[in-house]
Chains A and B, each alone.
Chain A
Amino acid sequence: MQMQLHEDAPRLVVPDRAEATARMKIDRAGWAVRSYARFDRAAVMRVTRAVAEAAHKAAQEYAEWAVRETGMGVVEHKRLKNELSAHPLVDFYENTDLVNPRVDTGRKMVEIPKPAGVVLALTPATNPVSTLYYKAILALLSRNAVIFSPHPLARACCAHAAARLEAAAVAAGAPAGLIQCIEEPSVPLVQALMASPKVQVILATGGGPMVRAAYSSGNPAIGVGPGNAPVYVDPTADQTLAAQRIVDSKAFDNSVLCTNESVLISLAENANRLERGLRAAGAHILSEPEVGKLRAWLFPHGHLNTAAVGKSAVWIAQQAGLRVVPSTRVLIAPVAQVGLDEPLTREKLCPVLAWATAETFERATGMAQMILRMTGAGHSAAIHCEDPQKAMDFAAALSVYRVVVNAPCSQGAAGFATHLAPSFMIGTGYFGRSSVGENIGPQHLVHWTRLAWNSDASVQMGDFGAVRAPFEGQAPAPRPAPAPAAAPLAEAGGMDRDMLRQLILQELRELTRGQS
């Protein structure tokens, strides 16, 4: 080893503490989930609700913190997203039972849910705390433990939020270690953790390389690819309403949701009407020279200037040397081409919207597909139209798994303005090199053990009415010292029989043998 006596660099190499500690977190999560996976549904819902309540209460605090720490997004919108990832998310799954076995006497089958175990969850800088809330709730609903690896740009707010949710879970009777967060996230560390045989599934949200790394880790992964949603406005749509929705969606949290509209496509025949609507809603339509300036600033050497991500339209205009009124919410850049030759039609994650015009509906659909061919396959698209046939044709032609109709796409595709599942993980399926094509929910973190009877009519299944369910209710928390256990009551059904038996045996032994 080279000695470095001349400077303050450490003279000894200290082993990577972050990695060692993170591996201990995985083991700890394993212990936590061993206990939590035996909770009954009432106890699971109680813990989840308690965590949702803690999340809800801190929504504003973490919205402010995330914006402060990352410099991205809008506090008010982040608060809303945080709130939506608390109680409304739990409400959505209120009737999705992932705890009790299902008995299907017709098919002579019993299905027992088995939680994945330890979930390694990556959270992005763009939606840090809302994603953390969302993944924590998913893990709790499915009786899993979760370890967060936040994007380094958002690590402080995530670590704090995770600790708060963990404390709420513990206060509601959950074992400690169910919700943990890596304090010092780094790319090598998360790659090492993703390959751990003690991680059962990775929930990867983040840049393309990180998602690919999750899939390459050798562990099961649910990763989602990038978005780049095309939005088509048909002449049959209410142009004013459509324009309003699009501008609202683009302005929402400064477009950091991957579901935000990226390229607007309209027909020549409704372009003027749409333009009036867009201006009225607060969009600034750029002139051709302005488009050139914006392109040069936003895509220097053809690559997205990440400084723009999550920034406001006014800030971006200033940086690009454009003059806009202070009330400008969205910058709209008319473009002649779409696809590889026009960088403005790529994913931008900021309130800049490219706008292309086509002569026919078929040509517009082709343009949308061209955009997705470049990036955003499997993700989202939107259509504003009153013609069901066109909506059908548009969706059938595109390589996406959700097409939002007459709604803002940012919120709509993420399940907040539609009846899609509320989600910060938009499954991009096979088009988008992902394993799941729908919005990710707690059901994706559970697999089922199926007891399947002989289908022959002569074989009877037996009565499952009185069969004991494979869980124990809430377990008592582990005790630090071997003090005599206080009689632990199973919340759901009084004292557990095994527990009672043990207590009696223990007492008998003490009576007969004295203290040992």
Chain B
Amino acid sequence: MFNYGFFNFDSKAELLDKAIEYWNPGKTKFWQDAGIDLVIDRREGYFLYDMSGRRLIDLHLNGGTYNFGHRNPELVATLKSALDYFDMGNHWFPSVARAAFAEKLVKTAPGMKYAIFGAGGAEAVEIALKTARYATKRRKIVSIIKGYHGHSGLSVATGDDRFSKIFLADRPEEFVQVPFNDIDALERALRGRDVAAFIIETIPATYGFPMPNDGYLKACQELCRRYGTLYIADEVQTGLMRTGMMWGWQSYGLEPDMFVTGKGLGGGIYPISACVVTEKCGGWLHEDGAAHISTSGGSELGCVVGHQVIDILQRPEVISNVHFVADFFHRSLNQMMAAHSDVFVGIRQRGVILGLEFDHPEGAVAVSRALYENGVWAIFSSLDKRVLQFKPGVLLDVATCQEIVDRMEAAMPRVRALLRSPRRAA
């Protein structure tokens, strides 16, 4: 009996039946078929517990949402404290929490002027694209093939057509895509001087974290400047110290016109996102500040949590820890790759953002499963299933990191077996 007070289930099987019946049959069945029967129950730090009680180390982190681990005690205390005084707030009015958080956020990013809040990454992207259209009076948006910026109206149109065509939400006439790391293609797209914005994840996450070539992002930014296009850095997965610096664009020496942050900004306990813009882009905030409205965007509870998230990330201890974790995985994964070079063929890394390449079109699906069977949860890249997303948290300690590597090592024979089997991984 799983009694949660508000509701209860006799068994995990009953829960799965209910999930199929009332929630989402496709998603529920997908994981069953993939051999991953995970129903996350309790969670603490970097550990997840399945309903069966089995413990998993979380290397998925939902793209950095759980950067600080699950239910980080300091952030939970912050939210509880905020709940004793605030609620979501009234978006029409200025508020102490929003003003304080906006200031805190803007001050992390030299050159930026305003923080415009949303409730999720897609909303922040939406704000960025609308802001670009306002500022340039142009309509076209360029993004990269296999880029990912969310699932709302404008944001989904920038991404892979897997997510737009099904809902008839693709708009090829306004949304152009160019190959990643292809600077000439971008120039061809911008040359007509009719593009409002170029939006790009600083390291494309859902594409499996392929690393931008040396100078690529900077060249993109220069092309944008040349053709009057605004450069939007999508920092939802690369921001918040995950590259070893507060924002990924800083680590590449960029000066974007806008950037977007979400996921970990709410510490995994309260949803909040932000589009941070320069003075030049923020004109509509003067002309009609209510032109974009969001009841839950910039909730004061989220602002208090986000304020503390930034505060924590600025502590020297955290910065040092990120470097230690990044260095640890750099060394140990290189060692592991050397020992398993028949299947494990590449490491993409910047800070604690890693993509591990496996020598099979669905290699990462098999690895994800083998790791799951060995107590580690890491997800493959939706848009490149050769690559495992490997996303350690910024506060990980030595013991957990060593355990991850030990468990990974233990999983390698199973990886080989899965890759050899005729049914493949899933």
Contact = CB atoms under 8 A, between A and B. Distances in A.
Interface residues of A, number: 36
B16 interface: no
Given A1-B84, A1-B85, A12-B81, A30 B398 contact: yes
Contacts of A34: 398
Contacts of A27: 317, 321, 395, 397-398
Interface in A44-88: none
Interface stretch (B122-130, B153-161, B345-353): B345-353
Contacts of A17: 74
Contacts of A31: 320-321, 324-325, 328, 397-398
Interface in A145-164: none
Interface in B62-116: 73-74, 77-78, 81-82, 84-85
Nearest to A499: B331
B11 interface: no
Interface string A3-39: 1000000011111010011001101101110100000
Contacts of B211: 515-516
Nearest to B349: A482
Given A13-B81, A28-B324, A480-B244, A20 B397 contact: no
Nearest to A514: B213
Contacts of A482: 326, 330, 349-351
A323 interface: no
Contacts of A30: 397-399
Interface in A449-477: none
Contacts of B243: 481
Contact of A12 (B84, B326, B397): B84
A197 to B, nearest CB: 10
Pick the most buried of A1, A14, A17, A482: most chain B CB atoms within 10 A of its CB. Answer: A482
Interface string B246-257: 000001000000
Contacts of A20: 73-74, 312
A301 interface: no
Interface in B308-339: 308, 312, 315, 317-318, 320-321, 323-328, 330-331, 334-335, 337-338
Pick the most buried of B85, B245, B327: most chain A CB atoms within 10 A of its CB. Answer: B327
A513 interface: yes
Nearest to B181: A515
Nearest to B348: A516
B357 interface: yes
Contact of A15 (B74, B334, B398): B74
Interface string A409-436: 0000000000000000000000000000
B210 interface: yes
Contacts of B398: 27, 30-31, 34
A20 B334 CA distance: 33
Given A12-B84, A21-B315, A481-B351, A176 B74 contact: no
B318 A479 contact: no
A506 interface: yes
B320 A28 contact: yes
Contact of B324 (A198, A478, A509, A516): A478
Nearest to B214: A515
A481 B211 CA distance: 13
B379 interface: no
Given A13-B84, A20-B74, A502 B244 contact: no
B304 interface: yes
Contact of B338 (A11, A15, A480, A505): A505
Interface in B225-249: 243-245
A20 B309 CA distance: 13
A34 B396 CA distance: 14
A24 B338 contact: no
Contact of B346 (A25, A198, A513): A513
Contact of B323 (A198, A479, A506): A479
Contact of A481 (B312, B331, B335, B350): B350
Contacts of B251: 481
A12 B326 CA distance: 35
B357 A516 contact: yes
A21 B331 CA distance: 27
Interface string B401-426: 00000000000000000000000000
Contacts of A513: 345-346
Contacts of A3: 85
B324 A15 contact: no
B423 to A, nearest CB: 28
B395 A24 contact: yes
Contact of B317 (A21, A481, A505): A21
Contacts of A498: 335
Nearest to A25: B317
A482 B329 CA distance: 11
Pick the most buried of B84, B85, B334: most chain A CB atoms within 10 A of its CB. Answer: B334
A509 B73 CA distance: 42
B335 A24 contact: no
A30 B330 CA distance: 18
A509 B346 contact: yes
Interface string A477-510: 0111110010000000000001001100110010
Contacts of B326: 478-480, 482
Given A12-B82, A24-B395, A509-B346, 9 more contacts: A3-B85, A12-B84, A20-B312, A27-B395, A478-B328, A481-B351, A482-B326, A505-B341, A515-B213
Closest 5 pairs between A and B when the two form their complex, measured CB to CB: A478-B327, A31-B324, A24-B317, A15-B77, A1-B84
18 contacts: A12-B81, A13-B81, A15-B81, A24-B321, A25-B317, A27-B398, A28-B320, A30-B398, A31-B325, A31-B328, A480-B244, A481-B245, A498-B335, A502-B331, A502-B335, A509-B346, A516-B211, A516-B357
